[in-house]
Amino acid sequence: MALVEPNPNPSFLEKLQSIPKPVIYGILLVVSTIPLFFSVKLPNKPIDASIDFYAQTMKLPDGCKVILCSDWTNSTRGESKGEMEALLKLLMRKHIKFVLLSIGDTQAPQVAKDTIREVSASEVASGGTPYKEFEDYVNLGYYAAAEGTILAINNKVLSIAKGKKDFPEGAGPKDALLSPVFQGIKSVSDFNMFFLVTASGTNRTILERITKCPLMYMVSGVMVPENTSYYASGQLKGLCGGVKGVYDLETIMEAGINNPGPDLIESDKYKGESIPGWKGKTNKGKGTAYYLALHFTLALLILAVVIGNVGMFAAKRRAK
């Protein structure tokens, strides 16, 4: 490729392709931070994957049991925490009991436990019932051997809880298998759904090994393309990805699907069905809080790419 000789007297347009890094960093800092101070309800059209995620969760029978694999830590809390909070709100409102485990990171169980505590408190504040460890969910903690553990879940689910203790606060250690969550469970197919909230490669570990229970994933934005191929093939019943996915869920939680009203969200897939929302509850969360910042940051990214290209073309033109 021919190199363009640097011009000693560059024009304004040519200068656009060499903005100093500190300036770019400074603009990004300002643009991504200021919107966080404003709560603005932006228009949104939820994508099919998010609609499926909400619809399939809402179709779970009230009081049923699911598995929740939480493999995120605070490094991706901007996306993953919002996803986890939205999912927990739905599970708690439908009184769905869940088995909590982690295969991705040793910090993940504590981070998940803290989030459950926060969401439970916020649901209680808006008229819900508290979610208690051991009674409403059982925490199996972290498993170092991800592949073998997930295979064991599919093969013989109770074996992974054997000898495990749950540590509900102020109650002392208890045998995980004695939790009401495990009562009546013989096989993984007795769970109605396997949810995964992840920001790491555990998505494939689970997808390749869990065959007896439907799967739904909540992943970080960069993982969406990879997981879309599994959603498209029907291996995932629903997919929630990144801040956009969280905002989609929060939007649907407010309006429902095919539910007549001012904020109607239509879905051809669920034509003839009306899936209710949760109006009056605290549906807004991290998605609503961060979507404006995502808008501004994406706009800045697009602008940066355009400016860089304009500068490049200006320099090329002059060189000719």
Near another protein by CB under 8 A: residue from 8, 43, 127, 262: 43
User: According to CB under 8 A, which residues from 147 to 176 bind another protein?
Assistant: 148-149, 151-152, 155-156, 158-160, 162, 167, 169-173
Contact status: 114 vs another protein (CB under 8 A): yes
Kindly state the smallest distance separating residue 136's Cβ from another protein, in Å.
15
Kindly state the smallest distance separating residue 195's Cβ from another protein, in Å.
21
Binding mask 263-292 for another protein (x = CB under 8 A): ----------------------------x-
Q: Which is nearer to another protein, 127 or 144 (CB)?
A: 144
Q: Which is nearer to another protein, 59 or 145 (CB)?
A: 145
Near another protein by CB under 8 A: residue from 36, 124, 298, 319: 298
Of 201, 207, 195, 235, the closest CA to residue 220 belongs to 201
- The DSSP result for 44-56, as a single string, is ----HHHHHHHHH
The values of phi and psi at residue 99, to 5°, are -95, 125
The values of phi and psi at residue 267, to 5°, are -140, 120
Sole window of 91-99, 106-114, 253-261, 269-277 interacting with another protein (rule: CB under 8 A): 106-114
User: According to CB under 8 A, which residues from 195 to 254 bind another protein?
Assistant: 225-226, 228-229, 232, 244, 247
**C-alpha angle with apex 30: 24 to 35, nearest 5 degrees?**
135
Of 40, 142, 237, the closest CA to residue 227 belongs to 237
Long-range contacts of 20-29 (CB under 8 A, 24+ apart): 24/304, 27/300, 28/297, 28/300
Query: How many Å from the N-terminal Cα to the C-terminal Cα in the chain?
Result: 15
Contact status: 7 vs another protein (CB under 8 A): no
Kindly state the smallest distance separating residue 306's Cβ from another protein, in Å.
8
Near another protein by CB under 8 A: residue from 8, 21, 62, 272: 21
User: According to CB under 8 A, which residues from 66 to 105 bind another protein?
Assistant: 73-78
Of 24, 82, 83, 81, the closest CA to residue 57 belongs to 83
Near another protein by CB under 8 A: residue from 95, 186, 269, 317: 186
The values of phi and psi at residue 217, to 5°, are -115, 150
**C-alpha angle with apex 65: 253 to 109, nearest 5 degrees?**
80
Sole window of 55-63, 142-150, 254-262, 265-273 interacting with another protein (rule: CB under 8 A): 142-150
Contact status: 300 vs another protein (CB under 8 A): yes
CA distance 114 to 282: 18
